[in-house]
Amino acid sequence: MVQLFKPTKEQLEDFLKKSRKLSFSYKEVGATKTDFPKGYDHDINEIEIGYGEEVWQAAKNAIRNWKMFPGVWADIWPRDTPIEKGKVVVMIVRVFGLWWKNSCRIVYTFDEPNRFGFAYGTLTNHIEKGEEIFFVEKDDKGRVFYKIQAFSTPRIWLVKLTYPIGRFLQRKFVKESKENMKAVVLAAAKSKTHA
């Protein structure tokens, strides 16, 4: 789960293979569809990322390609994992010079006229437990929003011991995720407009 050096492709493949056999680490699977359960931290975040059909299509494509992960210190592997219920991914995080591997399984997906995204939940080898939903939404005026919402709590003793640091890193991820989505979507929409 934690190592000094960046995980190799072989290490990630082995971790992913083992992770596929694991169960969710929390009992409230799918609760991001309704009221978030008690006993967890609740995080509700959004950012307006643009306007119009080009932005909307670029935003959906960004979600499909895991662009909400900044990639510098928090990333998803493999990046080409399709957004489908039941798919498992490895979330790689680099903190304090250490590399942490965690796994999540996609709980559900949705592709509606004005809403697109998915939720994934932590598996039993994740340092946290809970569920997170990533989605884009278009309002009736054509404005496009990126939303990231989660309920979570530390699962292992080290994360419980360093709880304020964990919450700081969660907020840092959300901030960078919003910035990354906005930049990626606007660049993609702009290049399509000028093509």
Number of domains making up the chain = 1
Q: What is the pTM of this model?
A: 0.93
Find the CATH number of the domain harbouring 151.
Answer: 3.30.530.20
pLDDT for residue 55 is more than 60: yes
Ranking 4-8, 133-137, 175-179 by mean pLDDT, the lowest is: 4-8
- In 144-171, which positions are buried (b, 16+ CB within 10 angstroms) versus exposed (e)? bbbbbbbbbbbbeeebeeeeeebeebbe
Between 45-49, 150-154, 165-169, the lowest mean confidence (pLDDT) is in 165-169
Give yes or no for residue 195 having a pLDDT over 60. Answer: no
Give the Cα separation of 132 and 44 in Å (integer).
10
Residue 95 pLDDT: 87
3-state secondary structure of 91: strand
Which residues form the domain of 111?
2-193
In the predicted model, is pLDDT for residue 194 greater than 90?
A: no
Of 109-113, 158-162, 172-176, where does mean pLDDT reach its minimum?
A: 158-162
Residue 161 has what pLDDT? 81
